[in-house]
Amino acid sequence: MEKISLQINYTRHTDVSELDQQERRLCEAAVAATESSYSPYSGFRVGAALQLETGEIVPGSNQENMAYPSGLCAERTALFAAGAQFPGRAVTTMAVTAKTDRFLIRQPVTSCGACLQVMAEFEKRQGSPIAVIFYCIGGEVIRLRSVRDLLPFAFNGEGLKG
């Protein structure tokens, strides 16, 4: 038996003012994306914004459905839109935030497992890391240099090869 430890490196910021101008702009785009959220059931509006290598920003928001599994998270909405509208362009950075009228969100909201897997495949497909910023509106920011930091054992398809 071999015992192995994993370490996750990330930066934590008091608020968005500690980020560079481009990353602040991306966080603002994620906040704006919450306005297009369709979340009548949970009341939890999630916004994502990703920046492409060419500078374009692609927003996404969660889209619920009364048959809950039929909805889609903000991260996947943004990534799939980028893949459809800008094929072949790499995603460099992604910002995610959330808000609700039901309670005060006190810390950054992180992505679900399904979103992390899609994010990991985008990284693999483009051959370069995607920096991830989780932003609590009016509060703390967590920044990671790669999706691999969040999902080190992402399914990578190697088992599908003959």
pLDDT single digits (tens) 12-48: 999 999 999 999 999 999 999 999 999 999 999 999 9
Task: Answer yes or no: are the C-beta atoms of 129 and 146 closer than 8 Å.
Answer: yes
* pTM confidence score: 0.94
- Residue 161: inside a domain, yes or no? no
84-131 confidence digits (pLDDT tens): 999 999 999 999 999 999 999 999 999 999 999 999 999 999 999 999
- Residue 18: inside a domain, yes or no? yes
**And the tokens for 94?**
């992604």
Cα-flanking dihedrals φ and ψ of residue 122, to 5°? -60, -45
Task: Answer yes or no: are the C-beta atoms of 17 and 11 closer than 8 Å.
Answer: no
Mean pLDDT of 139-151: 95
d(Cα 48, Cα 65) in Å, to the nearest integer?
19
- Residue 94: inside a domain, yes or no? yes
- Residue 86: inside a domain, yes or no? yes
Cα-flanking dihedrals φ and ψ of residue 61, to 5°? -140, 155
Q: ∠ at Cα 116 (98, 59), nearest 5°?
A: 45
Mean pLDDT of 133-139: 96
- Residue 5: inside a domain, yes or no? no
- Cβ neighbours, 10 Å, residue 35: 11
Task: Answer yes or no: are the C-beta atoms of 134 and 142 closer than 8 Å.
Answer: yes
- How much is the CA Rg of the chain, to the nearest whole Å? 16
**Would you state the pLDDT for residue 162?**
65
CATH of the domain at 43: 3.40.140.10
Name the domain count of the chain: 1
- Residue 162: inside a domain, yes or no? no
Whole-number mean pLDDT of the chain? 95
- Residue 158: inside a domain, yes or no? no
Of 23, 64, 75, 123, catalytic: 75
75 is catalytic: yes
- Residue 134: inside a domain, yes or no? yes
* Domain carrying residue 118: 13-151
**Would you state the pLDDT for residue 43?**
96
